[in-house]
Every structure is written in C-alpha cells, then in structure tokens.
Chain A
Amino acid sequence: MINILSLDYVVPGDDFTRAGEASSDVKRKLKQIGYEPDAIRRVAIAMYEGEINMVIHAGGGLVHVEIDPERVKMVLSDHGPGIRDVEMAMREGYSTAPDRVRALGFGAGMGLPNMKKYTDSMKIDTEIGKGTTLYMTVLAKSITIG
C-alpha cells in the first residue's frame, strides 16, 4: 500500500512577512523523510515562487501538498484578481510586483518561468475577477534537469 502524506496550508495575504513559511515547512518535512535531494530542491523552489506570488498578487490563498514515494503534487489556489495575460506572465523578466517588495529581491519576473522549469508538469487555471489555481508535479526521479 502506498502511503501518501497530505499537507495543507493557509497562506495569509495580509502579512507579507509570513510569505515563504509554507514552502519552508514542506522543505523541512521532505528533508526529514529523506526524500530525493534534487526533488526537494525543485519542490522548494517551485512552491516558494508560487507562495510568494499568492501573497504579492492575490491576497493569500490555500496550498495543498500530496507526497508519495514517486512524486510530490502541489495545488496552489487563490481568490485573487486572476492572471490577465498568462503568456506575458510566463515570460522571463515580466513582473507586476510593487516596488516595496522589489527592494527585498522580488519582482525579477522569474517566478512563473522558474516554476515551469523546475517542475515536471504545471497547469494554470485562471479567471479574471475570480482567482487562480496552479497544479504542479515534481517527480522523485526525474529525467528533466531543473
């Protein structure tokens, strides 16, 4: 029987200083489990970028993670404004982040491109005025190089 570890997080939208805590927790748990180091790195980066996006652009949201021996599945959902132009957003360097977070190193416009690069599959469901949901999978043993 395959064991699945299920984790749920609420990412608060009103406190930017809490951004990044959920992905940090997932990374810690994966390390403790002794998951594949390369997969841990890719999950950590992909989920971190997604979490930061949710805080900066969408006012927070929910994260659901499922870990089994073969893969890590992440679902990040929010009720934010939605992504106006997904194709533009996927371009490296394109960012709509406000100035006050750029000083901390954010807003380089690499979030979504990085998420695509580090995951084995990524799907974006977005609706203007309703919100966005991201589905990402990272395989434990992957052929794609992150």
Chain B
Amino acid sequence: MDRFFHSVTLDRDKCMGCTNCIKRCPTEAIRVRNGKARIISERCIDCGECIRVCPHHAKKARSDELSMIDNFEYKIALPAPTLYGQFNNLDDIDIVLTGLKDLGFDEVFEVSRSAELISEATRKLMQEGNLKKPVISSACPAVVRLIRVRFPDLCSHVLQLNSPMEMAARIAKQEAMKKTGLPRGKIGAFFITPCPAKVTAIKMPISCKKSEVDGAIAISDIFTKLTAKMEERKTTELLSHSGIIGVGWASSGGEASALLNDKYLAADGIDNVIRVLEELEDEKIRELDFVELNACSGGCVGGVLCVENAYVAKARLQRLRRYLPVSQNHLDGKIPNMMEWQKNLLFTPVLKLSDDMNEALRMMSEIDRICDELPGLDCGSCGAPTCRALAEDIVRGHAKKNQCIFIMREEIKNVAAALSSIGGSFSHSDKGGKDI
C-alpha cells in the first residue's frame, strides 16, 4: 500500500509511452515501462510539470467534486486569490465571492485574508531576529516537499508558519462554530485550488497532523458554473475584505514584497527554484533575508488547474489590487499558536542509495562504471530520463542494461556476427555433401 498520497495520477489508456514527462520531471520520478509511464511515489513532489507537458492528456490532477460540499451542513468556500484573475472584465472581487455563494456555499472566507495575517506574523518573526537567514517561504507545497527530499541543509530555513489556505480554514471554522453553534465536524471548508500540490497538502500535510481543509475543488472544475452565476447576478454582497498584500500572494513576488524589506528574492518555475536552492545550499547567496519560491511559472497564477494564462491573470490582479488598502487584516497582538507548525521539517532521504554507507559507496562506483558503458545520449528510449538514471535503476535492481536501445543493438550485432560465423563454418563443410 502506498505510504504516499499523490494528487498527480496517470490515465493508462491515454498514455502513449512517449518520453515527454520523464524528461521534464524535476525529481526524475517517472519511468516508462512496458509502454506506459509510471510515477515513483517516493520521488514525486506533486509539482504538476508532467500534467503540464503531457501531449496526450494522460496525466491528471486529482481533486474533489463540487458536490462533495453537500456532505456538510455548513459549507465554507476558501477561494485562492488566483481565482480573481481568471475572469475577463472583472472590476469587483465581490462579484466572484457572491457567485461562489450562489453555487451553494453558505459562506466565503478569502484565503487572501489569512495571507495578510501570515505576512504580518512573518514580519514580526523576522524583526525578532531568531530565524535562520535567508528564510524560505513554505506556502508552495511542491517546494517544501522538494526541499524535504533533496536539500537537507535548507530544511531549517523553511518558515514554519501554516499556509494561508490552512489558516483560512481554521479561522473560518472557528467563526462559523460561534455563529451557527454547529460542531466542527458538520462544518466543511473547501479550498478553490489552482494546483494539485495543494490537494496533497490537504490529504498528507507536513505542517500538522490533520488539515482543517475538507476538500480541494479545482478552479478549472468550477469555472464555467461560477461564470454563469456571476453573469446572472445583478447585485452583489459586500464580502471582500482583502488588501494589496493578500491579493498579491497569487503572483510571484507577492509574498516577499509584503515583508516591506528590500533583501528578498522571488523565483518561479521549478527549474529556477532548483537552481536557487542549489545556490543557497552552496552558500552562494548570503545577503538575503527572505527567499520566495513558487514551483509554477508566474506563481500560483501559473498553477495547472487554472484556466487563464498566468501572465494575463497576473496583469488582471495588478489592476484589481490598485486602490485597495495595503492590508485589511491585522493580528491582534502576538502570533496565535494555530499559525505555527506542529513539528519541524525533517529531511527524508528517499533518494539515498543505502542506509549502509559502505554499500552506498559500492553502489555509487557501480553506477559510475555502468554509466560509462552507456551511450550518454539521454534519449529516454529505455524509459529512464537520463543514462545516469538508468545506471542507478540497474544498480538498484529495477532495470536491465539491455533496456538501453544502443546496448541492445550492440548485443544483436554481436549475436548476428556469431551466427554468421557459425553459419559460415557450416557452408564450408557442406561443399561436397549430398541432398537427402
């Protein structure tokens, strides 16, 4: 049974066994075997790159159906601010929020509101000066999982405050319990999500034992229904209570600029994120206080469950933010306990060759040796993303050397040569023979 939940899945019927996804996966978590792609659970970080790049739409993101909200008596929608950038000609966020209520939610609590509280808490913590610099943001679940498996030294730099999504659920449920008198179990909070990584963050959270979010509904799933409701509406309720900072979290740079501090870096796109993390690991970046990292290009607006182009959405949000107060949500004194992680981020060495150092050294030499014998083309025909990955698979016992097409060709050539030389010796001795 899988110890790991992943929101990225494969539709085997649509998979053609092409090599697009294996080449793009940032943790080399995919292999093609018997003509179908297979995701290696331990290595997958749910970044969604394979979903983005699959030309046959075989890679899918798992999320919840809207109808799931009916399992609860009181339903709260937690829209990611990314949602606001998906609509053309929108000049009032309340239209979106009222539309969500029309879809069946009893209440809407904007995730941008809790984002502003997190920004304030972060500013406080950074001022207190006890955090390891540079502080790395923890809002992107794919990035946190990437750091956890690949960058042990950086685990202690990750900001251990809950994500805006998690905080929004907690605050909204608390308020709802007070308002309705219902027990927690009857209140459902649903994140309207731009990406599959957030689904994983709900089902298998790192920061806490159990997430307060009950489900994640993809933006792409409700977009049509929501637009219809928004167009029907003539009036709106005054529901929005977010500022520039909260809405800004949807775009790359939004979280970092909210710290009102010049010494930050914001990177987006998984390749860039990895590059920055490697430089941080090598201590090549010293003068920064905060590093914001987003697995998707553009930030959350680039999430694979969005319907609009990331940069178009970014521009729309820029317009929507204009003339909003800087922040509409403020902490009441010190940082509340429910904002902090319940346990530290621990390095999980799933990429390790062996627990026994001796054995690991032996395996590494083997990998190097086999790698030298492979053609070095990284063509992907063997089903592994690189020759080196195939070498590692061979040493781990998951693959055979003649999976490599070029090695296979050599072997066939050798077998053909052997056969023909044997054949040659037969015809030589048959010269004087009679037909029987």
Q: A20–B325 contact, CB under 8 A?
A: yes
Q: A18–B327 contact, CB under 8 A?
A: yes
Interface SS of chain A: helix
Interface size class on chain A is 10 to 19
Report the minimal beta-carbon distance from A78 to chain B, rounded to whole angstroms: 17
Interface membership of A44, Cβ < 8 A: yes
Contact partner of A104 (CB less than 8 A), chosen from B248, B328, B330, is B248
Note all chain B residues with C-beta closer than 8 A to A28: 238
Contact partner of B325 (CB less than 8 A), chosen from A24, A45, A105, is A24
Interface membership of A19, Cβ < 8 A: yes
Report the minimal beta-carbon distance from A113 to chain B, rounded to whole angstroms: 15
Report the minimal beta-carbon distance from A31 to chain B, rounded to whole angstroms: 8
Q: A17–B327 contact, CB under 8 A?
A: yes
Report the minimal beta-carbon distance from B257 to chain A, rounded to whole angstroms: 4
Report the minimal beta-carbon distance from B246 to chain A, rounded to whole angstroms: 11
Interface residues in B242-285 (C-beta closer than 8 Å to A): 243-245, 248, 253, 256-258, 260-262
Q: B262–A99 contact, CB under 8 A?
A: yes
Q: A21–B260 contact, CB under 8 A?
A: no
Interface membership of A10, Cβ < 8 A: no
**Best-buried of A45, A48, A105 by chain B (most CB within 10 Å):** A105
Given contacts A45-B323, A104-B244, A105-B318, contact A17 B330 (CB under 8 A): yes
Contact partner of A16 (CB less than 8 A), chosen from B260, B322, B324, is B260
CA gap between A101 and B253 in the complex, in Å = 13
Q: B245–A104 contact, CB under 8 A?
A: yes
Q: Chain A residue with minimal CB distance to B327?
A: A17
Report the minimal beta-carbon distance from A49 to chain B, rounded to whole angstroms: 9
Note all chain A residues with C-beta closer than 8 A to B120: 17
Q: List 9 A-B contacts (CB under 8 A).
A: A17-B119, A17-B327, A18-B325, A18-B327, A19-B326, A23-B323, A99-B262, A100-B260, A100-B262
Q: B323–A101 contact, CB under 8 A?
A: no
Contact partner of B326 (CB less than 8 A), chosen from A16, A44, A45, is A16
Note all chain B residues with C-beta closer than 8 A to A48: 323
Note all chain A residues with C-beta closer than 8 A to B328: 21, 24
Interface residues in A1-31 (C-beta closer than 8 Å to B): 16-21, 23-24, 28
Interface membership of B43, Cβ < 8 A: no
- Using a Cβ–Cβ cut-off of 8 Å, how many residues does chain B contribute to the interface with A? 25
Interface residues in B314-351 (C-beta closer than 8 Å to A): 318, 321-328, 330
Note all chain B residues with C-beta closer than 8 A to A19: 325-326
Note all chain A residues with C-beta closer than 8 A to B116: 17
CA gap between A11 and B116 in the complex, in Å = 19
Interface membership of A33, Cβ < 8 A: no
Report the minimal beta-carbon distance from A109 to chain B, rounded to whole angstroms: 15
Report the minimal beta-carbon distance from B261 to chain A, rounded to whole angstroms: 6
Given contacts A24-B325, A44-B323, contact A17 B245 (CB under 8 A): yes
Q: Mark A101-112, 1 if CB is under 8 A from B, else 0.
A: 101110000000
Note all chain A residues with C-beta closer than 8 A to B238: 28
Note all chain A residues with C-beta closer than 8 A to B248: 104
Contact partner of B321 (CB less than 8 A), chosen from A16, A17, A23, A105, is A105
Q: A104–B258 contact, CB under 8 A?
A: yes
Interface residues in B221-245 (C-beta closer than 8 Å to A): 238, 243-245
Report the minimal beta-carbon distance from A38 to chain B, rounded to whole angstroms: 14
CA gap between A24 and B328 in the complex, in Å = 10
Q: A21–B244 contact, CB under 8 A?
A: no
Note all chain B residues with C-beta closer than 8 A to A44: 323
Q: A105–B244 contact, CB under 8 A?
A: yes
Q: B262–A101 contact, CB under 8 A?
A: no
Q: Chain B residue with minimal CB distance to A21?
A: B325
Interface residues in A93-143 (C-beta closer than 8 Å to B): 99-101, 103-105
**13 other A-B residue contacts (CB within 8 Å) besides A18-B325, A19-B326:** A17-B326, A20-B244, A20-B325, A21-B328, A24-B324, A24-B325, A24-B328, A28-B238, A100-B260, A100-B261, A104-B244, A104-B248, A104-B326
Q: B258–A105 contact, CB under 8 A?
A: no
Note all chain B residues with C-beta closer than 8 A to A24: 324-325, 328
Report the minimal beta-carbon distance from B402 to chain A, rounded to whole angstroms: 55
Q: A104–B257 contact, CB under 8 A?
A: yes
Q: Chain A residue with minimal CB distance to B318?
A: A105
**Best-buried of B260, B323, B327 by chain A (most CB within 10 Å):** B323
CA gap between A24 and B324 in the complex, in Å = 7
Note all chain B residues with C-beta closer than 8 A to A103: 253, 256-257
Note all chain A residues with C-beta closer than 8 A to B262: 99-100
Q: B260–A105 contact, CB under 8 A?
A: no
Note all chain A residues with C-beta closer than 8 A to B260: 16-17, 100-101
CA gap between A123 and B243 in the complex, in Å = 29
Report the minimal beta-carbon distance from A56 to chain B, rounded to whole angstroms: 10
